């Protein structure tokens, strides 16, 4: 049974039993505490927790998920994958334990001809929470399971909670017995791979508090509305139904594995180490494909870093299989073809997906090449000293150059040297501890969303700001210091929830409005407006006059000048996006934006920097659109209707069934957007592109000033030009050539000064050679030269002196002050290096005394620091290290 068929049967089964079919949410989670959607229930958490009223009594979905906490286990077990699909059925007070157990058993054991999954009941075991006698009895009654195949387990495995005060409850898991050839007898309690968990039923029935750990909490009572949350692992069922050994061999994954094996000249099943690498490749390519399809692009932080890590693990695994060159162009199309049946977007957006993946591969292959050069030097040093590659070098390669430790170990092993894993492991642990502390600090800064639960239950906040800037409402809720309050007094910073508001809450790239909230006897300055949970608008305010209390009349007043600037910037973002696509082509997708009054920032998918001519063309097209005074029309319609009209749905954005479509000049710019906009393009005023930069291997960023801010910037530049023309006494048309002439004269003068400085230093060669010392069997030139033109001058003199030392075992160490900073240069002769002296060690030692760092090759190295007064001390330390 193909994976897509299991997917279809699941949704069909539950739809026929009254469940609303909910499409998979994006892999990018709405939950601020989660980087990705990590489980099928994540999109339903607001309903399951009661934070937001459920729009339907029961639902079903097949949800895309990403988990990387067990990434090291990928390929080694039959069930660990970074991308997986979770089939779920959910009840929000509709049915409970009996319904959930009955549905599960019916779907699993009904014949394939009847629309079921056709499992033999004799192959199925279940676990229940050891104190849940009700669930045990229901399994006996509904499924007819004997007691020995219903195993009771403790809270650590069969009790669910969020880890925080709130809803919780026992769970029941269903396992498939693969047979005695896969392990020991004894059921799931043995925790053996023979028994594969395929379905987990969570019975959310209690409220808990005083949560100290997963197993230590206090049950305070039953929930008023009991919920069901279940999840069946699609890949796990697929590998069982397809009769293969693991999830990497199912129809959606195996084709990539086979193509990788073909490229590497390997036969899957012959060598376990190679098999693990092939399974990692197959899993990670699919994960990369699906993440990029949901708008994630490689970067050095957040979600982009996780994607980058997955893609680089593919490249590393291919290299360890013997494939040194690019392979993504062979692997990604195979994964696309395997996944497009369930996710047509991977075919529709494959041009964007492939360009992002291929660019990352190209970048990392260059990184590997440069890392290998550094590692080769470290290996040679280790050979000469009969030592291991330094752990800090291995960490530097890993942390700074993205060079995996696995490859460092392999190359070192081939060269016959070890790697100091102890130091490397210590440095890695220190990095993890810092990251964990940072994450914990950030997590601690987030508000407890449970405070908004009752407020959201009062209804959805109505936004009236599309049509008015002033609106009268009433105060439904007050939050002070994270806790509900009955009032907020003058001087307090508080959060206000109103029934309606004309103030825009930050979303869709548009910053929140500025303004005030006023009422009988109080006034509050609006500091921020956010939507902490779907449908609830929260105004962070500073009470400047009086006291605001619950149920008080409150009037929201938007700062009209700020809103005008914000709408100019938001409409300007759409205009710049359309201009980018006009110039660069339809593959230039928006990949993120931010706009506020007077300013816009737009990220877009493109690999190469924009030339000055291209930036000017984009700016000109944008301003021509403004001059054309295009009508700006906003319409609300069904999502499918909007897409049929060609409205752009932007990567990473999430849309409901009803959407707003914003047209500028008809189809010239047509996007899904809930933000506020001008009524005609001329109202934008002016676009002034002020910068363009890289924000990743496949993303660029343009920044622009808009409207009055754009004019002010042009006016400031005009003033600068006037000052220059006046000071240089040239007309404006000659200003550029005059500045170029002055620059050329300056460069010529600097070059002449540098030549004179080099000549002056060269004249000191005889004097410095005459002062050479015999230290530890070496002829050593050790000198401080005071102020020098540059480090290059000092390096040139050191090389001249080394040449004069000839075949003698010798070293040259020169120090000086360049541009106010101390610099030390070390050079060694071949005979000096044979005696064990390394220039890099000498430079590093001197730099340490100078308060900086340094290093280099054994024959020539450089160091620097911050304290020129310690040059004499640095040279003395180097002399002592040589035996003087």
Annotated binding site for Zn(2+): 570, 574, 673, 677
Q: What is the rounded CA–CA span in Å between residue 260 and residue 267? A: 10
Q: What is the rounded CA–CA span in Å between residue 574 and residue 251? A: 41
Q: What is the rounded CA–CA span in Å between residue 461 and residue 455? A: 10
The full DSSP string for 534-585 is: TTEEEEEEEEEESEEETT-EEEEEE-HHHHHHHHHHHHHHHHHHHHHHHHH-
Check if the beta carbon of residue 202 is closer than 8 Å to that of residue 229: yes
Residue 282: partners with Cβ closer than 8 Å, 6 or more residues away:
248, 253, 254, 256, 257, 260
Give the chain's length: 884
| CA 107 remoteness from chain centre | 38
Which two three-digit tokens encode residue 375?
Answer: 């590692």
Name the DSSP letter for residue 499.
S
Give the residues across from 237 on adjacent strands.
none
Closest CA to 687 of 598, 559, 561: 598
Residues 828-844, buried b or exposed e (16+ Cβ, 10 A)?
A: bbebbbeeebbbbbbbb
Q: What is the rounded CA–CA span in Å between residue 6 and residue 1? A: 7
Q: What is the rounded CA–CA span in Å between residue 354 and residue 280? A: 19
Contacts for 160-165: CB closer than 8 Å, 24+ residues apart: 160/202, 160/204, 160/229, 161/208, 161/211, 161/214, 161/217, 162/49, 163/211, 163/214, 164/211, 164/448, 164/450, 165/207, 165/208, 165/209, 165/210, 165/211, 165/450
Residue 525 host element (H or E): strand 522-533
Residue 245: partners with Cβ closer than 8 Å, 6 or more residues away:
78, 239
| CA 793 remoteness from chain centre | 44
Name the DSSP letter for residue 649.
P
Binding site as annotated, residues:
570, 574, 673, 677
Closest CA to 651 of 210, 349, 307: 349
Surface-to-core class of residue 192, CB atoms within 10 Å of its CB (0-12 exposed, 13-18 middle, 19+ buried): middle
Tell which phi-psi region holds residue 127, choosing left (phi > 0), alpha (psi between -120 and 50) or beta: beta
Check if the beta carbon of residue 260 is closer than 8 Å to that of residue 331: yes
Q: What is the rounded CA–CA span in Å between residue 171 and residue 129? A: 6
């Amino acid at each position: 049974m193909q994976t897509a068929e299991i997917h279809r049967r699941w949704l069909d089964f539950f739809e026929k039993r009254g469940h609303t079919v909910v499409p998979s949410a994006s892999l990018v989670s709405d939950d601020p505490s989660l980087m990705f959607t990590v489980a099928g229930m994540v999109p339903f958490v607001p309903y399951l927790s009661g934070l937001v009223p459920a729009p339907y009594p029961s639902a079903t979905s097949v949800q895309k998920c990403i988990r990387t906490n067990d990434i090291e286990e990928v390929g080694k077990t039959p069930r660990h994958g970074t991308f997986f699909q979770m089939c779920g059925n959910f009840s929000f007070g509709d049915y409970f334990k009996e319904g959930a157990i009955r549905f599960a058993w019916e779907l699993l054991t009904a014949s394939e001809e009847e629309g079921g999954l056709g499992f033999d009941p004799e192959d199925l075991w279940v676990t229940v929470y050891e104190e849940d006698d009700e669930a045990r009895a229901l399994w006996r009654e509904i499924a007819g399971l004997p007691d020995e195949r219903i195993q009771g387990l403790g809270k650590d495995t069969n009790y669910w909670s969020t880890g925080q005060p709130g809803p919780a409850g026992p769970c029941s898991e269903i396992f498939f017995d693969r047979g005695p050839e896969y392990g020991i007898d004894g059921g799931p309690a043995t925790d053996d791979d023979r028994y594969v968990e395929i379905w987990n039923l969570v019975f959310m029935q209690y409220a808990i508090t005083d949560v100290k750990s997963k197993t230590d909490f206090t049950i305070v009572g039953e929930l008023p509305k009991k919920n069901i949350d279940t999840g069946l692992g699609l890949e796990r069922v697929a590998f069982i139904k397809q009769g293969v050994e693991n999830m990497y061999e199912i129809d959606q994954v195996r084709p990539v594995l086979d193509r990788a094996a073909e490229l590497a000249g390997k036969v899957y099943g012959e060598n376990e180490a190679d098999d693990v690498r092939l399974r990692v490749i197959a899993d990670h390519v699919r994960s990369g494909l699906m993440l990029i399809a949901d708008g994630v692009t490689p970067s050095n932080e957040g979600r982009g870093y996780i994607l980058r890590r997955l893609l680089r693990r593919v490249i590393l695994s291919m290299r360890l299989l013997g494939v040194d060159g690019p392979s993504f162009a062979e692997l990604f199309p195979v994964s696309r073809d395997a996944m497009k049946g369930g996710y047509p977007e991977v075919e529709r957006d494959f041009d964007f997906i492939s360009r992002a993946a291929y660019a990352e591969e190209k970048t990392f292959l260059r990184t590997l090449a440069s890392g290998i050069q550094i590692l080769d030097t470290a290996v040679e040093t280790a050979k000469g000293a009969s030592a291991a590659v330094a752990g800090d070098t291995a960490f530097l390669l890993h942390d700074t150059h993205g060079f995996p430790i696995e490859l460092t170990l392999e190359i070192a092993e081939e060269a016959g040297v070890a790697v100091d894993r102890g130091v490397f492991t210590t440095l890695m642990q220190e990095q993890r501890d810092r990251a964990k502390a940072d994450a914990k600090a950030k997590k601690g800064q987030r508000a407890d969303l449970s405070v908004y639960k009752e407020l959201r239950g009062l209804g959805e906040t109505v936004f009236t700001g599309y049509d008015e800037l002033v609106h009268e409402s009433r105060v439904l809720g007050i939050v002070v210091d994270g806790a509900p309050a009955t009032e907020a007094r003058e001087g307090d910073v508080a959060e206000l929830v109103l029934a309606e508001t004309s103030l825009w809450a930050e979303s869709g790239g548009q910053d929140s409005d500025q303004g005030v909230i006023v009422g009988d006897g109080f006034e509050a300055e609006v500091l921020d407006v956010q939507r902490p949970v779907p449908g609830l608008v929260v105004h962070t305010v500073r009470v400047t006059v009086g006291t605001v209390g619950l149920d008080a009349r409150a009037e929201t007043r938007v700062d009209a000048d700020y809103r005008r600037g914000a709408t100019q910037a938001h409409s300007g973002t759409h205009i710049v996006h359309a201009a980018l696509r006009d110039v660069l082509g339809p593959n230039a997708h928006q990949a993120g934006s931010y706009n506020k009054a007077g300013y816009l920032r737009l990220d877009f998918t493109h690999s190469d920097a924009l030339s000055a001519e291209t930036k000017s063309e984009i700016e000109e097209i944008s301003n021509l659109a403004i001059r054309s005074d295009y009508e700006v029309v906003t319409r609300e319609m069904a999502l499918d209707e909007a897409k049929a009209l060609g409205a752009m749905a932007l990567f990473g954005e999430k849309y409901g069934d009803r959407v707003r479509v914003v047209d500028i000049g008809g189809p010239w710019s047509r996007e899904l957007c809930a933000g506020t906009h001008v009524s005609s393009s001329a109202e934008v005023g002016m676009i002034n592109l002020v910068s363009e930069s890289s924000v990743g291997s496949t993303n660029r960023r343009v920044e622009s000033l808009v409207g009055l801010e754009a004019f002010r910037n042009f006016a400031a530049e005009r003033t600068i030009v006037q000052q220059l023309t006046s000071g240089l006494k040239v007309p404006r048309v000659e200003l550029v050539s005059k500045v170029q002439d002055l620059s050329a004269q300056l460069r010529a003068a600097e070059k002449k000064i540098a030549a004179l400085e080099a000549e002056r230093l060269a004249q000191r060669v005889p004097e410095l050679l005459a002062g050479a010392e015999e230290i530890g069997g070496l002829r050593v030139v050790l000198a401080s030269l005071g102020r020098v033109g540059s480090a290059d001058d000092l390096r040139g003199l050191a090389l001249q002196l080394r040449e004069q030392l000839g075949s003698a075992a010798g070293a040259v160490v020169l120090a000086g002050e360049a541009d106010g900073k101390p610099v030390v240069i070390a050079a060694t002769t071949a005979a000096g290096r044979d005696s064990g002296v390394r220039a890099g060690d000498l430079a590093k030692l001197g730099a340490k005394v100078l308060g900086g760092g340094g290093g280099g090759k054994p024959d020539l190295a450089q160091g620097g620091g911050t304290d020129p007064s310690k040059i004499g001390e640095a040279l003395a330390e180097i002399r002592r290290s040589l035996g003087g």
